[in-house]
Amino acid sequence: MQRLSILALSTLLSLFAVPGGLAESKTPPVILYSPAPPTPESVRVQKVPPIVRVKVHVDETGRSEGVEVLGVEPSGENDEAYAKAAQEAIAEWRFKPASENGQPVKSTMSWSVQFHPVKAVIGWTAPESRDAVDAGRLSRAQLLAGSVEMRQRVKARVLETARKVLDPAALVSVKVETVTVMTDFGGEANARAIGHNILASWAATYSLFEKIIPAQPAIGQMHIIVFRDRKAYERFTKLHEGLDWTAGFYCPSGVIAFHSEHAVVEYLMSVLIHEAVHAIIDRHIARHGVVLPRWLGEGFAEYIAKSDIKRGRLIPGSKRKRYAGYRMDLRYGVLRLDSDAVGTVKRLKRAAREKKTLELTEIIRADRETFYSEKRHLYYPQSWVLVHFLCHGEEGWGKNEFPRFMLYVAEGYDVLEAFREVYGMELESLGKAYQKYLEKF
């Protein structure tokens, strides 16, 4: 199984754009992804951290193909260490490439990197009191932008709540690489299998972006809580103030929770993968503190979760066409159950016949309350189809356009701006193309 390679960054930096030698381009490159170079361990006692001036050579794809150090100010005995740290970090940056006459071109730009000692870094201050953390009143945005200490406190509260509900006689806790599985269902072997499935889902998801988006450093161990039955899960969600109609949920503090009581294993796997996708987006792809639009987060999670699994390998974007299994019904006898994807498509077709489907503007503008309202049976599947359209509407979109689009949004760019820059479409034309795709889906 493919494993993610994550490098921890120990400090922050300030970046200042400096007008520089833009070579043969009418539109300069725009920085999209800029992981911070850590202050070198050997020089963290330096009283006056320097500014490193560099020239960055950006190719037609938006990658840095060379970093020249122009100077270190003020100069000192640690210049070489600072220069190397800046070069190594900037080599991972990603840009919207410069353009000339509408075509991407190579360019050269100058930048200045201001280093800070660790003690000088200003951390995020929670806008809520410590009591609010303990009471679970922090929003998703506050959790994603929060400090490691604050996330750990929230996670500890969630895990404490789960232990009150899980059966202590059957409870096991198993660590599998970067995840820890707590469950009262199936013993250690089952817990270990769940952990490996989470990691495999992360690897399959990240494979779509690894050529464009270097993985962000993870914050702490991910905890997976699996309840034996739905009633136990519902008791947990009531204590944790979760949505009581869900089969699983993801908490940005670093917790995934779901129950194992499903008609067939395929449905359980869909829930597991869906929540795992939320986790990898927050932990390894989105910039610290960035919250994806509701439709994109849920739609992409559905896109991966409804994908086919062949020979133990998840194939992103390939809809499951087969039946999921069988169930005994006292009235009708043996029933053949649709796969998650097939069942969703049938419900969408019924909504289309009844002219109840949503417009694109409704989907992308839906906030949390609207998305999870009584119309969630439309928002979830149509967000899935929208992501499917952005990946497969035209040949090559899945390998080129969609990863670039996700990069823009994961860095905090406006969605409409990302549509224009990546797909070359305004909202109206995109909406018409999406509706046609939905009708044929």
Mutual angle of helices 265-280 and 294-305, in 10-degree steps: 140
**Could you report the per-residue pLDDT of 80-131, keeping only the tens digit for each?**
988 998 888 888 788 878 888 878 889 888 888 877 654 433 333 333 434 4
In this predicted structure, what is the pLDDT of residue 119?
A: 42
- Indicate the residue type of 6: I
In this predicted structure, what is the pLDDT of residue 68?
A: 92
Instruction: Give which of 383, 368, 265, 239 is closest to 257, Cα–Cα.
Output: 239
The CATH class for the domain spanning 13-120 reads alpha beta
**DSSP code of residue 49:** P
Choice among 3-12, 23-32, 365-374, 402-411 with the minimum mean pLDDT = 3-12
In this predicted structure, what is the pLDDT of residue 60?
A: 86
**Would the pLDDT of 260 be above 60?**
yes
State percent of the chain over pLDDT 70.
80
Residue 303 CA to residue 319 CA, distance in Å, equals 9
CATH number for region 125-285: 3.40.30.160
Cα distances from 106 to residues 63, 103, 344, 400, 404, in angstroms, run: 10, 10, 45, 18, 18
Q: Where are the domains of the chain?
A: 13-120, 125-285, 299-322+338-441
Looking at per-residue pLDDT, the higher value among 255 and 216 belongs to 255
Most confident of 30-34, 185-189, 218-222, 282-286: 185-189
Most confident of 309-318, 369-378, 404-413: 369-378
Q: Which helix (H) or strand (E) holds 107?
A: strand 107-115
pTM: 0.72
Residue 36 CA to residue 39 CA, distance in Å, equals 9
Q: How confident is residue 74, by pLDDT bands cut at 50, 70 and 90?
A: confident
Q: What CA dihedral angle connects 149, 150, 153 and 159, to 10 degrees?
A: -110
**Would the pLDDT of 47 be above 70?**
no
Choice among 140-144, 251-255, 265-269, 306-310 with the minimum mean pLDDT = 140-144
Looking at per-residue pLDDT, the higher value among 306 and 114 belongs to 306
| Arithmetic mean of pLDDT over the chain | 80
